Chains A and B, each alone.
Chain A
Amino acid sequence: MDAAKTHDESAPPSGLDQATEAPDESIAAVVGAQAMQLVGMGLEIASVFIRTLYYCVRGRPDFGAVVRQMFEIGNRSVVFLTVVMGFIGMILVLQGGLQVKRILPEFSMVGASYLELLIRDLAATISALMLATRVGAGIAAEIGSMVVTEQVDALRMCAADPIDYLIKPRFLASLVMTICLVIWAAGVAMLTGMLTAYIMFDVNPRTFFNLNLVDTGDLVVGLAKCLAYGAAIPVVAGHSGLTTHGGSEGVGWATTRAVVNASLAVIVLDLILSALGYVLLGP
């Protein structure tokens, strides 16, 4: 017992010495520090997420704020998302058609495979990456400015938890609006994909719009991804916003962090959910 204690006490100084003497000599130290930082941030984000969930159940209901955020997150992203997903639909069908052309010049299954891929993964993931950029940056910039101008401290002084007041409405709005936006985005991508197939490869739209390969599993995986991304983006971005420090440069840093972390969260969740869907529901 005593030995363990002395060991514990002696460990930190030696670690500190190593850090001060050779800050960038060992790769293990650099990687370890990065990993520790990552784990710490993950824990902080998890804590924000749990507190958000708690306030969703026990907090004060603020319907107006949720509707305002729904407008901000949803309606304001429609044009951006429409443009991006329209082009994504064209790119994917163009590339897919070229790929098929190399093996066998037969395009009847292009539409079916494209729709399956879109519903299972790409509609949700690419929309979410775009929302992570637009909505994540917006949330972090807004909350970050509030932190810098000490409005968040003022909220705390009034005994209002900033998570209940600022993050919860964005969380609920994002959950609802991500699903709506992804469905809209999938529709846009289907339409532009269909047009591209018709113009470039002479595929009849009726042949293209073939939902035979789409089963319940694909739909479930796609919708689960929407929910996961919709929950992750505001929490991650809100965490970046709340940890802002240091003037206008700090706001910029927080926004950058929000975009990067939210995009990484989307990619990691995509891998987890895709693998789970593959293992549980089959190919």
Chain B
Amino acid sequence: MAAKKPPSAASAPPSDAGLFEEIGGGFLSAAATVGGMGLLGYKIIQRLVTFRIDRAETLRNLYRMGVKSIPIVIVTALFTGAIMVIQAAPLVVRLGAQGLLGWGAGFGILREIAPLLTALMINGRVGANNTAELGTMVVTEQIDALRVLAIDPIAFLIAPRFVAMVTTLFLSTIFADTLALLGAAYGGLGLLGVEPKTFYNGLTSGLLGLSDVTSGLVKSIVFGIVIALSSCQYGLGVKGGAPGVGRAVNATVVASAAGIFILDYFVSFTLD
């Protein structure tokens, strides 16, 4: 049976591998990845608790990941703010209540859209980049070289990236919240003729509270952890040269995006 299988698997298209085998294989590999991420997270926390983390590398990564992502965050946030206003417009027009625009757009922006879209953009820029960089290091055996020099790769490479990514996403989300509200206020003025003042009043009239802001910020921390762990995990697991790096980047972006949405639901669910 074992001798028969390989030729049939080689000649048939990949979808013929057996539905159950495929599903099972998918689950097993997902479980292995999540387990690996958990272990990596444990090792990182060990280093963080005992302060074995390279400070220069952390600052360098904060600059590379945080400061360099600002343009993308600005563009995304301003555009999403305007989009949210257009989507809330039918509600306002139908109810004839301009004061509701600030509340409607603000609720969506603070709770969901700003953390989510910032996380997706940072995932594309920083997460993918991080995997590519770590993957290249693995392929060119630089990580082994670190071990040979008795430098702990987790304290030197991984923990700084983890800290930098979580911080970046947290700060970017605050930034994005503000800018998206700005975009929404002026989008409302341009498209619906709602004065920014009315918009601001709608925001602060008591229907929105601090809990809406903190809910978004808690999400951003969770998303940051997901992106950091998955990009480091996939980056360290690269095999097979340049195509391997490409495949790993693809896999990490997909895994983090799915992780972001799944955890988003559970965070929203537990916070209310």
Contact = CB atoms under 8 A, between A and B. Distances in A.
Contacts, number: 166
Interface string A45-76: 00000000000000000000000000000010
Q: Interface range on chain A: under 10, 10 to 19, 20 to 34, or 35 or more?
A: 35 or more
B201 interface: no
B31 interface: no
Contacts of B133: 249, 252
B124 A248 contact: no
B132 A134 contact: no
B86 interface: yes
Given A87-B264, A144-B246, A255-B128, A248 B254 contact: no
B136 A80 contact: no
A231 B79 CA distance: 20
A198 to B, nearest CB: 15
A140 B111 CA distance: 33
A142 B247 CA distance: 8
Interface in A120-150: 120-121, 129-130, 132-134, 137-138, 140-142, 144-145, 148-149
Contacts of A91: 112, 261, 264-265, 268
A132 to B, nearest CB: 8
Contacts of A88: 261
Interface residues of chain A: helix, strand, loop or mixed (majority): helix
B69 to A, nearest CB: 9
B87 A256 contact: no
Nearest to A262: B124
B268 A94 contact: yes
Contact of A256 (B112, B128, B207): B128
Interface in B8-66: 15, 26
A249 B132 contact: yes
B136 A252 contact: yes
A252 B135 contact: yes
B242 A278 contact: no
Interface of A: 34, 75, 79-80, 83-84, 87-88, 90-92, 94-95, 98-99, 102-103, 113, 116-117, 120-121, 129-130, 132-134, 137-138, 140-142, 144-145, 148-149, 213, 247-249, 251-253, 255-256, 259-260, 263-264, 267-268, 270-271, 274-275, 278-279, 283
6 contacts: A130-B257, A134-B250, A141-B250, A148-B242, A275-B82, A283-B90
A-B complex: 4 closest residue pairs judged by Cβ atoms:
A252-B132, A141-B246, A248-B242, A259-B124
